[in-house]
Structure 1
Amino acid sequence: MAVDGAQPKLKTTVGILKPKTIISYNSSPDIGFDRSVNPLVGCEHGCIYCFARPSHAFHDLSPGLDFESKLFAKPDAPALLRAELQKRGYVCKPIAFGTNTDPYQPIEATWRITRGCIEVLSACNHPITITTKSDRVTRDLDLLAPMAAKGLAAVMMSVTTLDPRIAMTVEPRATTPSRRIAAIRTLTDAGVPVLVSLAPVIPQITDHEIEHIVEQAAQAGARSAFFMPVRLPHEVAPLFRAWLDTYFPDRAAKVMATIQSIRGGRDNDPNFFTRMKGQGPWADLLRTRFNIAAKRHGLDSDRVHLRTDLFRPPPGAQGELF
């Protein structure tokens, strides 16, 4: 293994975005949610495989180091969220946080925008799901635990490797794997249901850890798990190839050959359903191994179903006078 150590710390800048709305809707048939909120743009974690990297082009910035260091915050997100939930005809369904970039990356510690949004949802009994690879999510247990007790909150913890040497390169500024596993236990002990995401699984680099990650997650109290082979859309593919050449030159060609076998002969398969599962013998093998491990450790149950019947729209400005 040619892993040389952690990547250097980048100087981070944060700009301000002022969108007119904050809830994004999607109709993708292979995604389990139809709406999401992303309080932050760009991500300090620097995960080389992040499919959100190409979106930084909308800000005339690069999907590489700019994505990791030139970030944007949406401080009006809680107020916008409140206004959208007040709209006549709004139909309550769980809102997903962390679908694009991590809502608990380091700048959330000072900006507290994700927390502000959770406060809005908590006040009106609106369900929320959070996907993160940070133990900072435990900071907000004072909000999430009471919501979970009502069936309104669940957290998906992303654990892609348990090897700190690999984590230093593939997710250089994310919370360490051991702290993520500890966070699963903390959340579970507080009554918050936790799902574990083995996404992405990188063939020839992290795939050998599938069974161990599932076992560790189960021992920490996780309720369910899922996995996804690595995806390399658009500009992510050349960045990933450069990363391989730097940190795993001994197996770079083999890794890409395996990925292409999973993705129909290409670096990436954009088609619905197969983009999440992969295809071919390698994908079948990964899926079989994961399914056996999940069943063995009791993580093959259905995902958490959150309640929507408790939702009450936030009071409007007029209502707040009384």
Structure 2
Amino acid sequence: MNKPIINEIETKNILTKSNLPVCEYSVNPYVGCTHACKYCYASFMKRFTGHTEQWGTFLDVKYWKEIKNPAKYKGKELFIGSVTDPYNPQEEIYKRTRTLLEELKGSGVKLSISTKSDLILRDLDLIKTFPNTRVSWSINTLDENFRADMDNAVSIERRLAAMKAFYLAGVRTTCFISPIFPGITDIKAIIRQVKSQCNLIWLENLNLRGGYKSVIMNYIQEKYPQLFPLYHEIYDCKDRSYWIALDKELKAYAAEAGLAYVTNDDSMTRNFHSPPVIVNYFYHEQIKKSARKGAARKGESHARTARS
């Protein structure tokens, strides 16, 4: 990999109000990400940042004025890493995520941190001081060759070791099996590997859109030609039967393994030492539509009650 283009920038506010269902604020100490995942949904950020470089080849290092009165965020959930990895390799040098955590220490905020790195181990003692914290690692394969084809992050072995260290330290952990590559990601093998060291297993299917659809489709055609007809059915013909069948298969597997299998549960209230919950997020678009319809129906009901 060529040396990434690094810029240092100033930003007015590092905490941004979020529409994500898992948090109230999103926090991204960097713009861009040098892990350069071929399937990265966050590449859409280029539309808003003015970057013309290829996604994964640049990183903007954010500097902000010290957070005033961090205690006002007490009880609020902050998601660190919604469109960047807060523990990209450059964090070891610039320590922007570390600085953020130090500014928020003692504030009472709830943290969700998403990463592909084990650099986060550096901050374990600091992260442990926050209430209701959860850290997730993206692991969508146990095959290091496929992993190396897809990203420049640390090995799966190192991610698993970091997850275990956090779990043993009493920090809630999530194995984010995403994106699931049809015919490639061995979900059951990953679950068997992580079920004793995480509180939540989150499943999300591979969505192909924007510029990286052709990148992935070309990769499959070259490296996994036997799977290309399947990918064509799913991503060109919009056939969802693969996900429907996989959902049914995993639901049965979870029942056999004694694991809860749900469509929307963050498990934060469950006993820490309970078996992990498996969350199927294959149909997140349908879930969002259902939630919006439910909210609309609830609003109409309130309106009728108010009129009567």
Q: Distance in 2 between matches of 1:92 and 1:226?
A: 24
Whichever residue aligns with residue 102 of structure 1, its letter is D
The Cα of 1:182 is off from its aligned counterpart by: 1.1
- Pair 1:216 & 2:193 matched: yes
Match of 2:243 in 1: 283
- Contact 2:70–2:103 (CA under 8 A) maintained in structure 1: no
Aligned residue for 1:52?
Answer: 42
**Structure 2 length normalisation: TM-score?**
0.78
Q: Does 1:196 find its partner at 2:179? A: no
**Residue among 149, 168, 171 paired with 2:148:** 168
* Secondary structure class of the residue paired with 1:68: coil
Which residue in the other structure is 2:293 paired with?
A: none
Matched, 1:69 2:57: yes
Counterpart in 1 of 2:160? 181
Q: Flag structure 1 segments of 5+ consecutive residues without an equivalent.
A: 1-8, 266-279, 307-322
Secondary structure of the corresponding residue to residue 41 of structure 2: coil
Cα distance, 1:154–1:68 mapped onto 2, change above 3 Å: same
Larger displacement relative to structure 2 (240-249 or 184-193): 240-249
Query: Who is 2:132 aligned against?
Result: 152
- Partners of 2:96 and 2:42 lie apart in 1 by 20
Q: 1:22 aligns with which of 1, 5, 14?
A: 14
Matches of 1:304 and 1:121 in 2, distance apart? 24
CA distance in 1 between counterparts of 2:222 and 2:63 reads 37
Q: 2:103 — aligned with what?
A: 120
2:233 — aligned with what? Answer: 257
Q: How far is 1:44 from its partner?
A: 1.2
CA shift, 1:294, in A, is: 4.3
Q: Please report how far the alpha carbon of residue 251 of structure 1 lies from its aligned counterpart in structure 2 after TM superposition.
A: 3.0
Query: Gaps (5+ residues) in structure 2?
Result: 270-308
Q: Give the CA deviation at 1:66.
A: 2.4
Q: CA RMSD in A?
A: 2.4
- 1:60-116 deviation per Cα after TM superposition (whole angstroms, max 9, x unaligned): 334xx622111111032xx45x237466xx674110011111111111111111111
Residues in 2 aligned to 1:131 and 1:291: alpha-carbon distance in whole angstroms? 25
In the alignment, the residues of structure 1 paired with residue 122 and residue 17 of structure 2 have an alpha-carbon distance, to the nearest angstrom, of 28
Q: Secondary structure at the match of 2:195?
A: helix
Task: Pick the aligned partner of 2:2 from 7, 10, 27.
Answer: 10
* C-alpha deviation, 1:258, in angstroms: 2.6
Aligned residue among 33, 37, 42 for 2:32: 42
**Letter aligned with residue 197 of structure 1:** F
Q: Distance in 2 between matches of 1:159 and 1:137?
A: 16
In structure 2, do the counterparts of structure 1 residues 210 and 246 end up closer, same or farther at CA, with 3 Å as the change threshold? same
Distance 1:53 1:22, change over 3 A: same
**Does the CA contact (< 8 Å) of 2:116 and 2:137 recur in 1?**
yes
User: Does the 8 A contact of 1:218 with 1:299 survive in 2?
Assistant: no
CA distance in 1, matches of 2:207, 2:188: 21
Q: Distance in 1 between matches of 2:164 and 2:9?
A: 35
Native 8 Å contact 1:198 1:228 kept in 2: yes
Q: How many angstroms does 1:189 deviate by? A: 1.1
CA distance in 1, matches of 2:60, 2:206: 26
Q: 2:74·2:108 contact (CA, 8 Å) conserved in 1?
A: no
Residue 203 of structure 2, aligned match among 201, 204, 227: 227
Q: Which amino acid aligns with 2:142?
A: L
- How many angstroms apart in 2 are the aligned matches of 1:187 and 1:59? 34
Number of equivalences: 266
Over 3 Å counting, the alpha-carbon distance change for 1:17 and 1:253 in structure 2 is farther
**Bigger share in strand:** 2
What letter matches 1:229 in structure 2? Answer: N
Cα distance change of structure 1 residues 249 and 10 upon mapping to structure 2, 3 Å threshold: farther
Q: Which amino acid aligns with 1:52?
A: A
CA contact (8 A) 2:39 2:212 kept: yes
Offset of 1:184 from its aligned partner?
A: 1.3
Q: RCO greater where, 1 or 2, for CA within 8 Å and sep 6 or more?
A: 1
Task: Say if 1:86 and 1:168 are closer, same or farther in 2 by CA, change over 3 A.
Answer: same
